Amino acid sequence: MKNKASRIRAIAQEFDLPEDLGKDGYHIEIFGNTFVLDGCRNIVQYDEDAIRLNTGRKIISVLGSGLVIKDFSCCQATISGCIVSVEIG
């Protein structure tokens, strides 16, 4: 029988997800003025200065100005705007 880590890797490959997604249940990418969170369960707070997202284990806070959720589907959230900081707690 496969161990848990190898099962997670196999599932990640099957669904074309980052392999480290299974470790804490989420994966973050930031490029330019775009923030992408894989493993998002729901939106906790949404305004132009702060967006808080629930991953099940952690709350990820994106802080800045002019923040907008561009896409929210299939456990993934994409945020754009002037991102000043990201807090994990």
pLDDT in tens, 45-76: 999 999 999 998 899 999 999 999 999 988 89
Kindly tell me if the per-residue pLDDT of 28 is higher than 80.
Answer: yes
Residue 2's pLDDT band, with cuts at 50, 70 and 90, is low
Average pLDDT score, the chain: 86
Q: Which domains does the chain have, with CATH numbers?
A: 25-88 (2.60.40.2000)
> What is the β-pairing status of strands 34-38 and 42-46?
unpaired
At residue 17, φ and ψ (nearest 5 deg) are -110, 160
pTM: 0.75
């284990």: which residue's tokens?
57
Mean pLDDT of 29-42: 93
Cα angle at 86 between 27 and 58, to 5 degrees? 55
Distance CA 8, CA 86 (A): 26
